[in-house]
């Protein structure tokens, strides 16, 4: 995944005026179809997809492709994570321009902003390991209690202090924590340190499920501060993972490159 | 749809003028931080419809040669 455009300060600033959705390719058949609707050479979903869309999710506002390079220019292949300044600047400017056309409802929007949840705890451990971020699990067997917890945590999660600093997933059953060390089946906001390869995790702290937003911020900041991100480089990570036998099986088949290899092409007449 | 396209095209045309002003303005209020991602299409789309904000959509594979924990 791009580590240049999406780390640019102007792009990050502009992203606050967007709803940012990042999916894990090949992990959900329905989402695969959504992605293919925006970009799929030869009808095959590729490993990465990028585009900007209207608020109804139906219309592309820039050229869709494997990365922002398709829309804003830049480098493909070696050097992909050191994009030219002008390309990143163009992306930030384009997003600001789009935000002028679609300014959003602001405070007129009904309801409260939901937590930006990941799909499930297994995937969330992997994604947070990849992002080198802590994971916060909203855990309760009671759907009613989870809803109250979400409302309180949401007020904190979108604040300037915490926005983008952690990721979130709900859980309703203790069995979901089978790969998490030191978990005790008590309802609460469970802050987790993902393992290096995202196959395991370890509880950093559990904050009382009844905590209001005002009483969440302090303990949450303290718990997030205990997170220790992996210091491995990309290559070191891959090599160490291979040696350790860390393997990930995606939920649906990987179709990247099928078109280029000729598979899936229409037969020639 | 045509109206939206014309409006968008007009804004893009005007971008360089806006951007020069933005470049010279103090950016003390712009905290770099990180992008806050919704992790599901269903959840993100619902929020975009609720707020009428545009969408930035990214998808990637959280593994490299089957080794997880890396984009």
Give A234-254 pLDDT, tens digit per residue.
Answer: 999 999 999 999 999 999 999
User: What does the alpha-carbon distance between residue A74 and residue A87 come to, in Å, rounded to a whole number?
Assistant: 6
d(CA A247, CA A31): 23
Question: What global pTM score does this model have?
Answer: 0.88
Q: Do B71 and A51 touch (CB under 8 A)?
A: no
B16 CA: distance to closest CA in chain A (Å) = 8
Of A79-83, A200-204, B55-59, the poorest mean pLDDT is in A79-83
Measuring CA to CA, how many Å separate A81 from each of A68, A165, B15, B62?
A: 12, 21, 26, 17
Q: List the 200-229 stretch of A: residues with Cβ below 8 A of B.
A: none
| ipTM for the predicted complex | 0.93
pLDDT category at A135 given cuts 50, 70, 90 is: very high
CA distance A222 to chain B (A): 18
In chain A, which residues have their Cβ closer than 8 Å to the Cβ of B35? 6, 11-12, 15, 20, 22, 164
Q: Who wins on pLDDT, B24 or A110?
A: A110
Classify burial at A219, counting beta carbons within 10 Å of its beta carbon; exposed 0-12, middle 13-18, buried 19 or more.
Answer: middle
Output the pLDDT for position A78.
Answer: 76
């Amino acid at each position: 995944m791009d580590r240049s455009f999406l780390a640019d300060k102007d792009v990050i600033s502009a992203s606050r005026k967007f709803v940012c959705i990042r999916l894990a390719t090949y992990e959900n058949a329905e989402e695969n179809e959504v992605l293919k609707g925006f970009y799929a050479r030869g009808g095959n979903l590729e490993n990465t997809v990028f585009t900007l869309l209207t608020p109804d999710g139906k219309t592309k506002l820039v050229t869709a492709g494997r990365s922002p390079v398709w829309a804003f220019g830049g480098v493909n292949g070696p050097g992909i994570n050191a994009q030219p300044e002008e390309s990143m600047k163009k992306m930030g400017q384009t997003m600001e321009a789009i935000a002028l056309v679609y300014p959003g409802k602001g405070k007129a929007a009904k309801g409260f902003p939901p937590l930006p949840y990941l799909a499930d705890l297994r995937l969330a451990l992997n994604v947070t390991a990849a992002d080198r971020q802590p994971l916060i699990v909203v855990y309760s067997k009671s759907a009613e209690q989870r809803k109250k917890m979400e409302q309180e945590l949401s007020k904190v999660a979108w604040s300037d202090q915490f926005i983008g600093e952690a990721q979130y997933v709900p859980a309703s059953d203790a069995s979901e924590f089978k790969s998490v060390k030191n978990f005790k089946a008590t309802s609460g906001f469970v802050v987790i340190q993902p393992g290096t390869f995202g196959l395991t995790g370890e509880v950093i702290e559990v904050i009382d499920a009844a905590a209001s937003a005002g009483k969440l911020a302090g303990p949450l900041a303290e718990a997030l501060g205990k997170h220790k991100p992996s210091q491995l480089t990309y290559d070191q990570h891959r090599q160490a993972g291979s040696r350790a036998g860390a393997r990930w099986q995606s939920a649906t088949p990987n179709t990247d490159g099928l078109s280029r290899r000729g598979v899936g092409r229409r037969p020639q007449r | 749809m045509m109206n939206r396209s014309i409006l968008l095209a007009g804004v893009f045309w005007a971008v360089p003028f806006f951007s020069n002003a933005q470049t010279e303005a103090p950016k003390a209020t712009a905290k770099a931080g990180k992008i806050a991602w919704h992790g599901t299409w269903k959840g993100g789309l619902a929020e975009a419809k609720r707020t009428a904000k545009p969408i930035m959509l990214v998808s990637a594979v959280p593994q490299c040669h089957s080794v997880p924990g890396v984009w």
